[in-house]
A and B are shown apart, each in its own frame.
Chain A
Amino acid sequence: MSLLARLNTPERRELLWLAIFSVIILVVLPSILEPFRLNLFGKYLTYGFVTLGLVICWGDAGILSLGQGVFFGLGGYCMAMFLKLEASSVANTKIQSTPGIPDFMDWNQITHLPFFWQPFHSLAFSLAAVVVVPTVLALVIGVAMFKRRVGGTYFAIITQAIAAILTILIIGQQGYTGGVNGITDLRTLWGWDIRTDHAKTILYFVSAIALILCILAARVVRMSKLGRLLRALRDREDRVRFSGYEVANFKIFAFCFAAAVAGIGGAMFTLQVGFMSPSLIGIVPSIEMVIFCAVGGRTSLLGAVYGALLVNWAKTTFSEDLPQLWLLAMGGLFIAVVLAFPNGLAGIFRLAIDRLPKGPGGRRQPGITPVVAEQAGAPQ
C-alpha cells in the first residue's frame, strides 16, 4: 500500500498541475483578459505546441533541433493555403487578370492554380496535411540522419540549414508561395469569419483544448516504456543500443512527434494571426522556440508551455513599455534564467516545492504553483 502511494504521488501531482494549468488557460485568462489580450495569449499558446514537442525531442531524447520553425511553418502554410483559396473566390478576386486564384499568383503571371494547391480546396485534406506534411518531412530527415548515426551538434546544424533552405525556397518561388510577404489576408474558414473578436475567442479555446490534449498525449508517451527508452538513450545511447534496441527508430519517433505537434501549433497560429510568412519559420524564430523551451524547462511539459507563454508575454509587455530597450531586457532575462537555472522555470519551481515544509499527508497547496512560476518569469 505504501509502495503504491509512493508510486502514485508524483503522477497524481503531475495531473494536479495539469488541472491547474487547464483552469488557468480555460477559465482564469479568458475571464480576466479583454479579447485583444486573449487573442495574443492564443498566439502564445501556439508556440506552446512547439515547446511541448521540444520537451520530447530535446529534453527527453536529447535531440536538439534548431529547425522546429520548419514544421511550425509547414503546418501553418497548409492551413494558410486552404484559407487563401477560400478567400480567393472568383467573386473576391474579379479585379485580377485571372480571377479565382490567390492574388500573389496573379501578380506573378501565373494563370492557373498549380497542381499542389489543388487538394487544399478540401478542408479535410488540409487539416490532415497540417499534421502529415511536417511529420513526413521529419521522417525523411530522421531516417536520413539517425540511421546514419548523425546526432548532437551536427544534427542541430543540419536542422538549422533546413530552416534556411525552406525560407529561401519560399521566398524564391513567390508565384507559388506568396514569397517574402507570405500568404496574407485570410478571411474565412468554411464561411466562418475568423477575423472577428468572437471568432478569435473561440479559436483561443480551440487552441487551448488542443494544447491540453497534446500535453496529455505527450504525457502518455513519457510515462510509457517508450518514454523511458528515450530518456535512457539520451543519457547512455550506447547502452541502449547494446541492449538490442534500434536507437534510430526511437529518435525518429521523437523527432516526428515534435514535428507533428509543431505543425498543429502552426495551423492554430495561422488561424489566429491571419497570415503565414517565411519570417516565422526561418533560423531566428526556430532558435527562439528553443529558447522558450529552455527558459520554461526542457524536461517539463508544463514548464516548457509556461515558458512559451511567459517569454512571449514578456516580449509583448517589454516592447510596449520600453520599445528601445526590450531586446536588451529580453536578452538579460534569458541569460539570467539559463545561467542560474539550467532546468528553467520548472527547475526553479521544483526547487521551491522541495524546500517547502511538508504538510500533513505530504500534500502541498496547489494554489501556489502558477504564482511561483509566474513571478519567476515576470520582469522585475
Chain B
Amino acid sequence: MRKGKGMSEDGEFELMLARARGDESPPPGFVARVAAAGAAMQPAPEVEQAAMAGPRPASGFWTDLARAIGGWRGAGGLVTATVAGAWIGLADPGGLLMSAASAGTVELMPGTGDMFGTEVGD
C-alpha cells in the first residue's frame, strides 16, 4: 500500500536522522587542542593587566608642560640651548653676522681663542 510504504519510509528517514544526532563525537584530543588554542590567546587576568599598566600618570600644569616639550630629554635639550645662547650673548658676538656673510669660517667668540688652549688663526 502506498500509505503504508510512505509511513515506513518516513520512519526509516526519521531513524536515520535520529542516528545522525549526537553519534559523531570529535576525534581524540580535539577538545584539548581547542582548549589549548583558547588558553594561548586568552587575555591576561584583570588584576595582572592593572599591575602591568603601573600607576596612573599624574596630571597637572607642570606635568602637561613637561610632556608637551618631550619629557626630561626635551627639557634637557631646551636648557642646553638656553645656556649656549646666554654664553654667546655674554661673550660679545660682535661681527658674528658680518663674518658669517663674508667668510667661510665663523668666529663665534672673538678674543677667547686661547680659552681652551687652542690658537684660532686668522
Q: Does chain A bind chain B? A: no
